[in-house]
Structure formats: C-alpha cells, structure tokens
Amino acid sequence: MPKHKIGIVGATGYTGSELVRLLIDHPDVSIEIITSESKAGTSFSKINPHFKGRIDMKLEPLKNLADHELDLVFLALPHGVSMDFIRDWNPDDFRVIDLSGDFRLGSAEEYRQWYHKKHKAPDLIEKAVFGLPELFRDQIRNARLVANPGCYPTSAILALAPLIKNEIIEPEQIMIDSKSGVSGAGAKAKQQTHFPEVFGNFSAYGLLKHRHTPEIQHNLARYAQKSTEVLFTPHLIPIDRGILTTTYSTPTKDIDKEYLGEWYYSFYEKEYFIRVVDDPPNVKHVRGSNYCDIHVTYDERTNKVVTVSTIDNLVKGAAGQAVQNMNLMFGFIERSGLEISPLSP
C-alpha cells in the first residue's frame, strides 16, 4: 500500500516537533511537508537539533502546501491562527486535524466569551469532531475536520466520562484540580516560564477563567448528553512534561468502592491507551507515551468520588492523540505508530 501523505503546519512549537517524532516512525504515512513562515528554508533539524540524523527536510512556507497531494494536514498553530487557515480551507482537498483550541467549543458565542475574540469560521464549529477517540471514535472515522482535544481536557474528560455517562455523579458540582508540566505553555519563552522563576516553585494560575473549562464542560456534555458545570483549577508543576488531574464529585447514589474500580476497569477494558490502575498513578509512568492512567476511589466520610489521572501532555494530550485520530481517519490500526514504552526513570 502506498503511504498516506501528510503535512504538518507549524513546526517550531512543541506539538509540531512531537508530531514529527511520532510520524517519522509511523509505518503507513510519509511526511511530505513541514511548514514554518518564520523559518522557511531552514532544515527542521537545525531548529530541533535532537532530530539531526533522523529527519533533515527543509521547512517550507505555507503556500507550498498545494504542491503536495496531501491526504491529511496537522495544524500545530496557536489559537486564533488555526481558524484563519480553516476559513480558507477546501474540505475536499485534504482532511485536517487541528491541535489548537479553535474548534473545540460548542459555539462561536462560547468561543468569544472564553477566548476574547471573534470566531472566523463559525459555520465549521459544529462540523468539527472532538478528537477524543475513546469517546467519539465513530464520528472521528468519517470526520474531515477533527478538533484535537486540549491537554487538561483529555486528562479530565477521560477520568470523568464513565461517571457522567452513567449518571453516577452530580454533573454540575465537579471540581477539577489539575497540575501540568511547563511544556504545556508552549515553546516560546515568556517571563512566567523563565527557568529561575519556575524552578523550585509551584503555583496555581488562571483561576476560574482558564479556557479549558468550557472545553471540558461542553465535551463531557456532548458525550453524556447532559448539562455539566465544572470548576477547573490549573497549577504549574516545575517539570517539562506531564499532567496529573485530581477530580472531586458527589455521587447521585450509593457507591460500592470495590465495585467502582472494577467497573472503571471494564468500562475501559478494550481501550489500549487507557490503563485503569489500582494505585494513584504518576506522570513519569506515562512520559513519552500515549497512555492515560486512571485511578478511581470513593470517600465515605465526605461522600465524594475521587479520580486521579495522568497523561503526557505532548503525547496523549496533543501529538499522540492526533496520530491516534489520524489512524482512525485512515482506517489504520488505531495504535499504529503509538506503541511506545514510557521513559522512566
């Protein structure tokens, strides 16, 4: 079978380079073009020296995209830039997996409210499929435009989906306390991510107004067909990769703690990338891999269900999940190119 041709738009960010890491080892696709406006003409491994000897193609300007007969394009662009691309895109040309937040919410209004800008391709918001394969697999298979989930939402939604779907918890009283490594803030240097400021530190940020709040709410609701309200608090862990999310919710009925764990296990039994674990997981056990580890328990005293889930924010929380979506869209084996052991210690 000839390899499927793919393009990567936006090569200088962390999701772009992580896509390259996964796709150069993928047996069934070939990277035809990687674009960068600011670095066009430079070789990809000049920008990302760790790839020297692995991939040495030159970065090209976006306009060259049309020179290749691409089957699929990954958009590794910032929020707000993706929708510019999509607005001008002809869905018949190639399929798109967008790794930005531009097509993950429910409406242009919601987008404006949380992203503080006007959406430029509002008619495509509803057509985009939320690319969380474990929950929306069938829709992803046929999608032309996949909105690849955010990192925090992936960790939170996968942990909460069984509870919401089966009406085990109150859907409007969910607390989500997330902690993320710094690569989630992107590859561009900022004062808040200056090494001496973050090293030895730990902080909460974006209280009550982080953009992943509506993304979690909307897509949990979309999956479970019921309205949800979540309180989402992100924190910055002084590490490079990894998200751990702890959630607290109130049951709607009597809970048998033993049974709860077993039931999670069976809920995700056929999912290769979900590992329901007996002990609280840690982020290093998923580093570099596409796994999501989930632990669930129940506290009788306060009558709360507690989940703890972990992902590598750049893999299951971004590039890995994008490749998983691509596999579904192309009819490949879903885990193709993604059977990677976590790097620990």
| Out of 2, 50, 69, 254, the residue judged to bind its own copies by CB under 8 A | 50
Residue closer to its own copies, measured from CB, 172 or 262: 172
Task: Show Cβ contacts of residue 123 under 8 Å, excluding neighbours closer than 6 positions.
Answer: none
Residue closer to its own copies, measured from CB, 143 or 277: 277
| C-beta of residue 256 within 8 angstroms of C-beta of residue 320 | no
Stretch that binds its own copies, among 2-10, 122-130, 173-181, 322-330 (CB under 8 A): 173-181
Task: Show Cβ contacts of residue 178 under 8 Å, excluding neighbours closer than 6 positions.
Answer: 152, 155, 156, 232, 233, 234, 235, 243, 244, 245, 246
Size of the site for its own copies (CB under 8 A): 84
Show the binding pattern over residues 278-317: x = contacts its own copies (CB under 8 A), - = does not: -xxxxxxxxxxx-x---x-x-x-xx-x-x-x---------
Q: Which two tokens stand for residue 74?
A: 């990954």
| Out of 37, 197, 256, 262, the residue judged to bind its own copies by CB under 8 A | 197
Asked whether position 54 contacts its own copies by CB under 8 A, the answer is yes
Task: Show Cβ contacts of residue 211 under 8 Å, excluding neighbours closer than 6 positions.
Answer: 79, 101, 114, 115, 150
- Residue of 23, 31, 83, 151 marked active site: 151
Interaction with its own copies in 219-248: which residues (CB under 8 A)? Answer: 229-231, 233, 235, 237-242, 244, 246, 248
Give the alpha-carbon dihedral of 311, 181, 118, 60, to 10 degrees: -90
151 is catalytic: yes
Asked whether position 48 contacts its own copies by CB under 8 A, the answer is yes
Asked whether position 43 contacts its own copies by CB under 8 A, the answer is no
List phi, psi (to 5°) of 232. -115, 125
Asked whether position 159 contacts its own copies by CB under 8 A, the answer is no
Q: What does the alpha-carbon distance between residue 73 and residue 96 come to, in Å, rounded to a whole number? A: 5
Q: Give the catalytic positions in this structure.
A: 151
